[in-house]
Amino acid sequence: MRALVKTLLVICVLAAGSGLYWWQTQANTKSADAGSGKTAKADGKAEGKGKGKGSGRRGGAGGPISVRVVEVARQNMPVVIDVVGTVESEHTVAVRPQVVGVVEAVMFKEGDFVKEGQALFRVDPRPAQATVDQVRATVARDQAQLVQARAQEARLRPLMEKDYITRSEFDVAATQVKALEATAEASRASLEQAQVQLSYSLIKAPISGRTGGLAIKAGNLVTTGNGAPTLVIINRTQPILVSLGVPQRYLEEIRRYWNTPELKVQISPNPAAPVVAEGTLVFMDNTVNPTTVTITLKARVKNDKEELWPGQFVAARIVLKIEKDAVVLPESAVQPGQNGPFVYVVRDGKAAMQEVQVSRQIGNMVVIAKGLNGGEQAVTDAPPSLADNSPVVLRGAGAPEGGGQAGEAKGKGKGKGKPEEAGKEATETQVK
């Protein structure tokens, strides 16, 4: 009996599992059929929409290309040479001690601007002062002996004239006077030298300029001679020099315009920065460096505000002259070509390729030597699709940003994607 019950239970479980499997299989089949139908509809709609939009794009591609233009100008432009310069001090002094002694005081802060004659260091003056006092006493002694000798000579002179004494006795007295005069003179020179040595105890600035770092602090013993330390270095910064390494090919032009009123040098911290100082050329080396094929020039700059610092690398622009009525346009208007640079010029609503000869570039402006006369409408930032004889329309005059999207824009907005209508609307704003 129990075996029969177990057998029936197993049969029931197997039947329930088979029914559940069949139900799930039917449900998945219906879902797949429904998804296929939706996909087909979506594909149909997408195809329809794609055809409509594609028709609009093809219609827009035939219209004018939207471009920006700038008028080619005529203005005064400098003829320049751009080089890298190095700032250097016009006068540099290494301050060293001239007496042996201990540094008692440093009378400035390192990095300060000092004036000529300003006290910088004080070395212990007592040894030098003692020497001055000793020599001064020697001078006083010699002077007293000289006075006595002169008095003796004065007393013997009348006696010699009356033959009370011999001539040789008087000559001894006169010789003694001359010897003492020489001794007194030597003593006075020694005193002056001792006083000079005493003055060296107070070290003063030999020039006006900016001080560097201190090598000796108060309390250090300093010496003279070959072992004398450098106490501080002073660089003159007002005015200051800028050394320029100019390529040899510019030598003839520089010599031609040397000492002319228009020749000047403009200094900037870097090529993209504004001009911070202006100076004049004061030196040209007498030889060309064969290694770098450059010639060294130096410009003197006032540098009143100390914008320039010794050792600094700067961008230097040598202005040779000012060219009157030069043909100028932005750099973005000049395009590179196989036969050289060219510019797209708008004429009668179309872009015409015009070959040009570039003279030089100053900042973002290009000076044209040949090919343009001024007043032309030049295309800037020309799109890649622009070609010679392409119809164009001014950007910002009611035309879209991209000429090829005109048909699509109209198709989306009003349901019109006809290329002839898009071309007609664009032609109304065409450059004449």
Going residue by residue through the chain, which has 432 residues, state the pLDDT in tens, using 9 for 90 and above: 455 556 666 566 566 665 555 555 555 444 444 444 444 343 434 343 433 333 333 334 568 899 999 999 999 999 999 999 999 999 999 999 999 999 999 999 999 999 999 999 999 999 999 999 999 999 999 999 999 999 998 988 888 888 888 888 888 989 999 999 999 999 999 999 999 999 999 999 999 999 999 998 999 999 988 878 899 999 999 999 999 999 999 999 999 999 999 899 999 999 889 999 999 999 999 999 999 999 999 999 999 999 999 999 999 999 999 999 999 999 999 999 888 999 999 998 899 999 999 998 888 899 999 999 999 999 999 898 899 999 999 874 433 333 333 333 333 333 333 333 333 333 333 333
* pLDDT number for residue 344: 93
And the tokens for 195?
Answer: 């006083």
Phi-psi category of 359—alpha, beta or left, where left has phi over 0 and alpha has psi -120 to 50? alpha
Q: CA-CA distance, 90 to 300, in Å (whole number)?
A: 8
Task: Write down all domains in the chain, each with its CATH number in brackets.
Answer: 65-72+336-427 (2.40.420.20), 81-89+236-323 (2.40.30.170), 99-125+201-231 (2.40.50.100), 126-197 (1.10.287)
Contact between residue 253 and residue 83 where contact means Cβ atoms under 8 Å apart: no
Q: CA-CA distance, 104 to 122, in Å (whole number)?
A: 6
Contact between residue 419 and residue 403 where contact means Cβ atoms under 8 Å apart: no
Residues 6+ apart with CB under 8 A from 196: none
Contact between residue 132 and residue 190 where contact means Cβ atoms under 8 Å apart: no
* pLDDT number for residue 425: 37
How many alpha carbons lie under 13 Å from residue 400 in its C-beta half-sphere?
17
- 3-state class of 322 per DSSP? strand
And the tokens for 255?
Answer: 């010599």
* pLDDT number for residue 166: 86
* pLDDT number for residue 25: 56
Residues 6+ apart with CB under 8 A from 169: 156, 160
Q: CA-CA distance, 189 to 274, in Å (whole number)?
A: 59
* pLDDT number for residue 39: 40
Residues 6+ apart with CB under 8 A from 428: 398
Nearest to 64 by CA among 402, 411, 333, 414: 402
